[in-house]
Structure 1
Amino acid sequence: MRNHLLLFIAAGTFMLSGCNKPAHKPSPDEKAPAPAAVNSEVPNNLKIEFSGTENFTIKNPKLKVSLYGVDEMLADAPATLITEKDYEQTSVPFTIDLPVPKDAESKINPKPAGPAKYYVNVSWDSDGNGKAGEKGDIFIDYDKQFPNVKLNNETQKVYLKVLK
């Protein structure tokens, strides 16, 4: 039994010594791999294409597009407004460039412990009655797709509909 114990300890020591192997240092002829970026570069603008299948009547062209961020892992955390901008549009579909701060994730409160999730919101009194987000106004079509967006260089799609 004592021999088995010594053999087990020797095997364990041999296995652990392999964990302490020094890191490979490239020779002068070898190129060292580039270090991975800790934070991916956030683009200056978020390109968003708004579209819909309805016939839109626009009496008031002024709308506001807002970008919100939240920790993807927190279920009940409130979203944080990151940026918003006013636009004027007279027809749907249309595409906008929404300026995004480079430190977008750092603006989220509470600070994300995991990945951050972003979405957009539209406030538009398109029927011109003085109140946005009411019956007759153009609004995000949440039935078709939630307006999640990724902060990358790809055009993000958001669907619109008329509130009934």
Structure 2
Amino acid sequence: MSTTPAISLDVSVVITNKNHKNSLESFAHALGLAVEILEEVPFQDIYTPTKDFAHAFFSNQGTLFFIPSGEYNIAAASRASEVAFLDIAQSTASFNLEYAKDGSMQRIYTNFNGTVRRNIKAPLEWESSSKSYVEIMSDAIQALTGQSLELYQQDKAARYHIIK
């Protein structure tokens, strides 16, 4: 039985091993987003079904950034850090994982409806075919931010309005 916390199965998240609390707008810009801070909201409120908002959580060691599904420049955002992008969509039975370190793509994996579409470079230490995609996400969060998903679920998120 899994101890992975409950989380929506339609989620896109960028995870980095750098705390961007004072530089989130710049980090988002490197990803390809323009954002402005709005307010703090409980973890449960990050599932607002709109593409107008992104939500960030900060630990001492990293940043967890829930964003709308899409294409992002993970390599550009990973200068002098590690950045992972995970996109899980139960509605389309798809999973996408991208990982970059120090400006260079290190791993790309895409599974769509049970068929592996991309499997580039070696699996990461927190990635395993025996785990569910939510477990992989939870393990990536722990590995990169030093904090468990359970702790983030008890915290408030910084809500950002996506300008473009």
Indicate the TM-score class for this superposition, using the shorter chain for normalisation.
under 0.3
**TM-score, normalised via structure 1 length:** 0.23
Larger radius of gyration: 1
Give the number of the structure with larger relative contact order, counting CA–CA contacts within 8 Å between residues 6 or more apart: 2
**TM-score, normalised via structure 2 length:** 0.23
